[in-house]
């Protein structure tokens, strides 16, 4: 475990909103540690080093170690980070205790590699879209990777990459693949018409066109449903009229 994965903490007895505000004024972060069939523990953390650590992607997908001054330590993962809505400040942190023998389910980021070397990446007028940026995995703490790598070097124009195409490290599973649902597409290629240009603007135009097509389809379906309702309403009115005559 590297120094960046070690979090120094203080046990705090004073809890509540007022106590939390006082901690923040002192440059500290109120935190809670729970899980593992133990009572929750309230902590105080130094804000500056935690703010720096929280900027790293691995902070959210690694097993960390919380240490207190009396020598006690606990392996944890980050469960939630509450941030100030306007300024760069962490307001509160939630940690979950982990056990070496207990399988964890957590989300890890996906890194895409080899895009520029692929046939799709070299082709003119084609945009490669990353549909998924993270995925939930299940693994023992010692097997949890900081990220999963997806090799796009073999991606062809019009091709797609599915969730099942990810090469997983030993001891790591993707729970979603155990279900009967359709596999999730994590990357695909979009061909851009010459009139749309190239680059980010082209991708945005393509996305807008796709959204417009979906919207039009929905509006058409709504019109058909409305016409059907009107016909039913007219039929009901005629039936009521006949009933009144009787």
| pTM, to two decimals | 0.69
CA dist list (Å): 209 to 46, 123, 190, 196: 48, 21, 12, 11
**Strands laid side by side in the 104-113 sheet:** 134-139, 104-113, 148-151
- How, if at all, do strands 185-191 and 160-162 pair? antiparallel
| Cα gap 96→74, rounded to integer Å | 10
Give tens-digit pLDDT for 75-121: 999 999 999 999 999 999 999 999 988 999 999 999 999 999 998 88
Residue 39 near residue 28, CB atoms below 8 Å: no
- Name the pLDDT band for 202 (thresholds 50, 70, 90): low
Digit-coded pLDDT (tens) for 160-200: 999 999 999 999 999 999 876 667 889 888 877 655 454 55
Q: Tokens 């980010």 label which residue?
A: 200
Domains of the chain, each with CATH number or no CATH: 3-97 (2.40.240.10), 104-191 (2.170.120.20)
Instruction: Write the pLDDT tens digit of every residue in 9-35.
Output: 999 888 888 989 999 999 999 999 999
Per DSSP bridges, beta strands 6-11 and 38-46 are antiparallel
């Amino acid at each position: 475990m590297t120094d960046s994965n070690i979090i120094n903490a203080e046990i705090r007895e004073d809890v509540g909103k007022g106590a939390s505000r006082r901690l923040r004024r002192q440059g500290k972060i109120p935190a809670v540690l729970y899980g593992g069939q133990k009572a929750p523990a309230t902590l105080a953390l130094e804000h500056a080093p935690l703010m720096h650590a929280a900027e790293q992607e691995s902070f959210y997908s690694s097993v960390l170690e919380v240490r207190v001054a009396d020598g006690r330590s606990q392996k944890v993962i980050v469960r939630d980070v509450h941030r100030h809505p306007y300024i760069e400040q962490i307001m509160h942190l939630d940690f979950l205790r982990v056990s070496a023998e207990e399988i964890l389910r957590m989300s890890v980021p996906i890194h895409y590699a080899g895009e520029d070397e692929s046939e799709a990446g070299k082709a003119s007028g084609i945009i490669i879209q990353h549909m998924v940026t993270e995925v939930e995995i299940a693994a023992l703490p010692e097997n949890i990777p900081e990220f999963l790598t997806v090799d796009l070097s073999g991606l062809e124009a019009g091709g797609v990459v599915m969730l099942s195409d990810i090469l997983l490290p030993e001891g790591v599973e993707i729970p979603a693949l155990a279900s009967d649902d359709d596999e999730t597409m994590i990357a695909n290629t979009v061909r851009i018409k010459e009139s749309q240009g190239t680059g980010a603007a082209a991708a945005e135009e393509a996305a807008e066109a796709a959204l417009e097509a979906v919207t039009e389809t929905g509006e058409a379906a709504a019109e058909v449903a409305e016409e059907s309702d009107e016909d039913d309403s007219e039929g009901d009115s005629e039936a009521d009229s006949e009933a009144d005559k009787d």
